[in-house]
């Protein structure tokens, strides 16, 4: 019916699809045969893969196939930024901190809750990295999203708190899953893993074990036990993971897995790891690079020492500033968490925090998550709420604050999120507004129009799935200074200021780079590309499409960065490439050089 309508020249869009589905379901007398929209794409792709008689009868052209996939694809925003993100969690593990506002769900790594979507997936997969990646890729594939360019996001607390053998096993399993996806060996390895877990967790499923877990969690909620102490009591699940890990052998070395992924059908184009400022050292960052990491998420929460102290967060200004410097010198993309409505704070102080973060050369991150503080039952903040020492902002105050932060965002900053996926029933106090971001952006637009101002924040300007006026694209350079470098944000923008692609170029100050010894990679005459990204609907590798990808914008940005660095006297330029993008950079003249790829520059 959809194809017939397309061929007849009728406007076939989401509303048309809704009408077709509703009409068919009304006509079906057998309710078990009703159609669900989310199942249309898996069905269509299965017919296409099998080249079934039905597919042959449809005989869609390439343009018709592309249009059908776009129409049937579920949640298209997931790959609108150009890559497919896959989030995985590490297992529950003792935390070095004990922050006032932090949830303490003993079934999860510290600060995460079992009801969050990514956490539910991790729990179902026993926190096994191989199973988490494989299952998520299959779901995304069934939804019609491309899976050839994947950004892996590893969450679960501070990465370096976990033992080194676990960290190496975890990353190896991630890459083994990427390399195996879509092959026959994946099903066999998945089966073996499930058999191991099922043979080990028989005790974990007993009523006795459930009673221990529930009673221990209740003690944590009533502040009678700390998260770390509770983990030591409920170690039966941890023992399952520990025992399983001795039998879940990764069959290849990290080096060979990386080599295979460079040409795999499912490539890693970014690897994100999570840590805290005081855990950032040259040694920890060098290891992250060896494991393929390209971006670091870091919990800053606030820049004010008195607020940190009141929240029980043991950080000092020196460690926060030093973490930014080290991350930048190593070439990492810097993604920080900032929290509004913390205990002892107020909206004016929160706004000052944000301005300090983006205006001071000591910080200036590339991305930020603006999480408003909410109260969950297992957090120590409960006592403060009950005796009146902390109260959440009302929704209007929160929307107003966050909209001001959007307006104050510089053109190189991307605000990735404004709310966590915490279920409303888990929130004791604080905003339960699931469409908070939409409300914030709407108010920011209204304020910008009233003030005659422009919104420069990256996420609100990215082209996503919209059409691009290629004739009006121009290359802009936004330059700004930090304590260790001059940064250039090179962006392709159209006449409306929308971004089609960008590159982050770091030019370390010669004196700073000259004073840095190993393992810091900064050299006095070497520039660093910290990020290259082209927006638009994710286009398959070597494929054609109408988005900004695969139009040469990325190569042009690299050439512009090389020319700019050469004009400033830099003799070479390095790039913090992901494992799956190494072949791309080789095609642009970069050669492998340890933890990075390097290209010489013409004077």
Q: Which domains does the chain have, with CATH numbers?
A: 2-72 (no CATH), 76-272 (no CATH), 276-450 (3.20.20.70), 470-600 (3.40.630.30)
**pLDDT of amino acid 239:** 47
**What is the C-alpha radius of gyration for the chain, rounded to an integer number of angstroms?**
25
Residue 156 in contact with residue 299, Cβ under 8 Å?
A: no
pLDDT score at 36: 64
pLDDT of residue 514: 78
**Tokens matching residue 576:** 């913090």
pLDDT at 213: 83
The CB density around residue 4, as the number of other CB atoms within 10 Å, is: 9
Residues of the chain with pLDDT under 70: 1-50, 55, 64-82, 201-206, 235-247, 249, 465-467, 536-551
pTM: 0.87
Cα separation values, 414 from 60, 118, 405, Å: 39, 22, 12
Per-residue tokens: 483: 């304590």
CA distances from 568 to 303, 502, 517 (A): 33, 20, 23
8 Å CB contact between 438 and 464? no
From 162, 161, 189, 163, select the one nearest 175 (Cα to Cα).
Answer: 189
Question: How far apart (Å, rounded) are the C-alpha atoms in residues 164 and 178?
Answer: 22
Alpha helices in 222-316 (DSSP H): 227-233, 235-247, 254-261, 282-290, 305-310
10 Å Cβ neighbour count for 492?
26
The set of residues, in sequence order, having a beta carbon less than 8 Å from that of 596 and lying 6+ positions away, is 289, 331, 521, 528, 574, 575, 576, 577
Residue 8, pLDDT score: 65
Q: Please tell me the distance from the alpha carbon of residue 399 to that of residue 395, in angstroms, as a whole number.
A: 6
Distance (Å, rounded) from C-alpha 358 to C-alpha 409?
Answer: 7
Report the pLDDT value the prediction gives residue 508, as an integer from 0 to 100.
Answer: 96
Q: Rounded to 10 degrees, what is the CA torsion of 352, 355, 359, 365? A: 120
pLDDT attached to residue 12: 65
């Amino acid at each position: 019916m959809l194809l017939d309508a397309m061929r007849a020249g009728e406007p076939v869009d989401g509303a048309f699809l809704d009408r077709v589905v509703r009409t068919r379901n009304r006509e079906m007398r057998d309710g078990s045969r009703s159609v669900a929209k989310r199942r249309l794409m898996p069905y269509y792709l299965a017919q296409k893969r099998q080249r079934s008689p039905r597919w042959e009868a449809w005989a869609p052209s390439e343009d018709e196939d592309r249009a059908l996939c776009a129409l049937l694809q579920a949640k298209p925003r997931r790959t609108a930024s150009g890559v497919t993100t896959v989030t995985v969690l590490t297992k529950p593990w003792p935390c070095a901190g004990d922050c006032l506002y932090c949830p303490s769900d003993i079934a999860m790594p510290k600060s995460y809750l079992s009801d969050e979507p990514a956490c539910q997936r991790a729990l179902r997969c026993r926190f096994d990295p191989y199973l988490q990646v494989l299952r998520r890729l299959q779901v995304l594939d069934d939804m019609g999203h491309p899976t050839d360019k994947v950004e892996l996001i590893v969450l679960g607390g501070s990465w370096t708190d976990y033992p080194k053998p676990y960290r190496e096993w975890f990353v190896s399993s991630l890459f083994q899953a990427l390399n195996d996806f879509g092959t026959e060996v994946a099903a066999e390895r998945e089966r073996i893993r499930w058999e191991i877990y099922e043979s080990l967790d028989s005790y974990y499923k007993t009523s006795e074990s459930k009673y221990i877990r529930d009673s221990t969690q209740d003690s944590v909620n009533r502040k009678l036990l700390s998260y770390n102490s509770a983990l030591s009591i409920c170690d039966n699940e941890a023992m399952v993971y520990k025992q399983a890990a001795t039998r879940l052998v990764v069959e290849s070395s990290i080096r060979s897995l990386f080599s295979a992924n460079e040409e795999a059908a499912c490539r890693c184009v970014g690897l994100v790891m999570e840590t805290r400022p005081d855990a950032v050292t040259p040694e920890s960052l060098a290891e992250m690079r060896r494991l393929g990491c390209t971006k670091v998420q870091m919990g800053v929460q606030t820049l004010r020492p008195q607020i940190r102290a009141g929240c029980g967060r043991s950080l000092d200004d020196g460690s926060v500033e030093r973490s930014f410097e080290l991350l930048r010198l190593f070439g990492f993309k810097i993604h920080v968490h900032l929290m509004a409505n913390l205990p002892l704070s107020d909206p004016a102080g929160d706004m000052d925090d944000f301005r300090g973060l983006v205006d001071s050369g000591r910080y200036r991150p590339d991305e930020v998550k603006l999480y408003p503080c909410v109260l969950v039952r297992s957090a120590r903040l409960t006592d403060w709420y009950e005796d009146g020492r902390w109260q959440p902002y009302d929704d209007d105050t929160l929307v107003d604050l966050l909209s001001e932060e959007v307006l104050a965002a510089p053109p190189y900053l991307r605000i990735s999120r404004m709310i966590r996926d915490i279920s409303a029933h888990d929130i004791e106090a604080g905003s339960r507004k699931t469409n908070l971001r939409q409300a914030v952006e709407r108010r920011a637009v209204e304020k910008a129009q009233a003030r005659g101002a422009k919104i420069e924040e990256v996420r609100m300007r990215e082209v996503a799935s919209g059409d691009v006026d290629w004739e009006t694209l121009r290359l802009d350079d936004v330059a700004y200074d930090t304590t260790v470098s001059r940064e250039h944000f090179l962006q392709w923008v159209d006449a409306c200021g929308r971004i089609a692609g960008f590159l982050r170029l770091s030019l370390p100050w010669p004196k700073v780079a000259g004073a840095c010894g190993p393992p810091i990679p900064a050299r006095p005459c070497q520039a660093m590309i910290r990020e290259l990204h082209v927006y638009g609907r994710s286009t398959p590798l070597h494929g054609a499409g109408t988005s900004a990808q695969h139009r040469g914008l990325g190569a042009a940005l690299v050439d512009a960065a090389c020319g700019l660095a050469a004009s400033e006297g830099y003799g070479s330029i390095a790039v913090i490439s992901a494992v799956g993008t190494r072949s791309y950079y080789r095609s642009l003249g970069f050669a492998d050089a340890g933890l990075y790829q390097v290209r010489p520059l013409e004077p």
